Amino acid sequence: MSKYCIGVDLGGTNIKFALFDKGMQSAGALEAPTPGAQGPDGVIAAIVAGCDRLIRQEKLAKSDIVGVGIGSPGPLDIANGIVLDMPNIGGFKNVHLRDRVGAGLGLPAALDNDANVAGYGEYLCGGGKGARVMVFLTLGTGIGSGIVIDGHVFRGAHGIGAELGHMIVEPGGELCGCGQQGCMEHYSSAHYLAQYARRAVEESNRKGLLKGVLEKAGKITARDVAEARAQGDELACVVWDRAIHYLAVGCVNIARIFDPERIVLGGGMAKAGKDLIEPVRQEFQRLHWNLTDPRTELFLATLGNDAGVVGAAGVAWDELGPK
């Protein structure tokens, strides 16, 4: 009889649950709304209930389940399974999420942050599959990242080791909410790219597609910039290429530190597909040192919103499964 781990991806709106065997074959999934207004007690009860429902739905018993992996927004104290804070859901201050879910289910549990588990999902089943060393960047509101080395998530000495969005790519540059200046996410995340596009349109007297978008919709998104760029809009090219440049700077630094086989790019910006990956590959080649040929390859993520639930189950197998 096969054994399974449950992956749980805790988001601000929904909680995803999925069962995976050791070979990471999916054996069922479900989704439930996050009862954010009910605070930690309600959210923990919803996680426990969702896991129980999934086990019943697939006609399994508790004894078929090795453990539960939870991917959660943070900051977290990963070693102790604690959510230190959660910007999207109120009341999560120093909540022992791992142990409370584990106790509620009567099963071992593991906790990791949402970007680490998404990276692990892409490593196991997505754009990083087959790589021994892989770095994942998710380009959304900010830039989240996950680092996988020799099959394990790398977390650093204090559990905060994979915060590549806060790698400084422009010393003395834009002030980041983290207190540093010139963090990569301030240049290359979907959110900050859109913010910069708006600034650039407002400061420019030129007519262009983005000016039209701003006048009509009252805002500019990263997707608007990508689409205007594809149509040759001059300002959109400048804005997009600036984000690409700093992303490539970050990728060269990642290559120098980790020498990964793959850097995988996901999140909202990755929906631009070849309009993202092709220029960033070119800029990466241009900025790369000449001591060796570039061997790190850049790829798009392939799992989309499923990366978290896949990786959460993977982390459970890695931490709780037979060694």
Binding letters toward Zn ion, positions 48-87, x by CB under 5 A: ----------------------------------------
Which range of residues in 3-11, 94-102, 169-177, 193-201 is near Zn ion by CB under 5 A?
169-177
State in angstroms the smallest separation of the CB of 133 from Zn ion: 24
State in angstroms the smallest separation of the CB of 143 from Zn ion: 9
Which range of residues in 108-116, 174-182, 298-306, 307-315 is near Zn ion by CB under 5 A?
174-182
Distance CA 263, CA 256 (A): 12
Q: What are phi and psi of 276, to 5 degrees?
A: -95, -55
In this structure, the dihedral spanned by the alpha carbons of residues 240, 220, 11 and 50, taken in order and rounded to 10 degrees, is -110
Alpha-carbon distances of 225 from 81, 155, 194, 203, rounded to whole Å: 40, 34, 8, 16
Interacting residue with Zn ion among 178, 274, 278, 286 (CB under 5 A): 178
State in angstroms the smallest separation of the CB of 184 from Zn ion: 8
Provide DSSP, 192-211: HHHHHHHHHHHH-----HHH
CB closer to Zn ion, 26 vs 180: 180
Cβ atoms within 10 Å, residue 234: 14
Interacting residue with Zn ion among 16, 155, 166, 191 (CB under 5 A): 166
Verify binding: residue 183, Zn ion, rule CB under 5 A.
yes
- What's the token pair of residue 8? 């749980």
Give the total of residues touching Zn ion (CB under 5 A). 5
Strand partners, 319: none
Q: Are 189 and 142 in contact (CB under 8 A)?
A: yes
Which range of residues in 82-90, 134-142, 153-161, 180-188 is near Zn ion by CB under 5 A?
180-188
Verify binding: residue 191, Zn ion, rule CB under 5 A.
no
Verify binding: residue 176, Zn ion, rule CB under 5 A.
yes
Angle, alpha carbons 215-219-225 (nearest 5°): 95
Contact residues for Zn ion, defined by CB under 5 A: 166, 176, 178, 180, 183
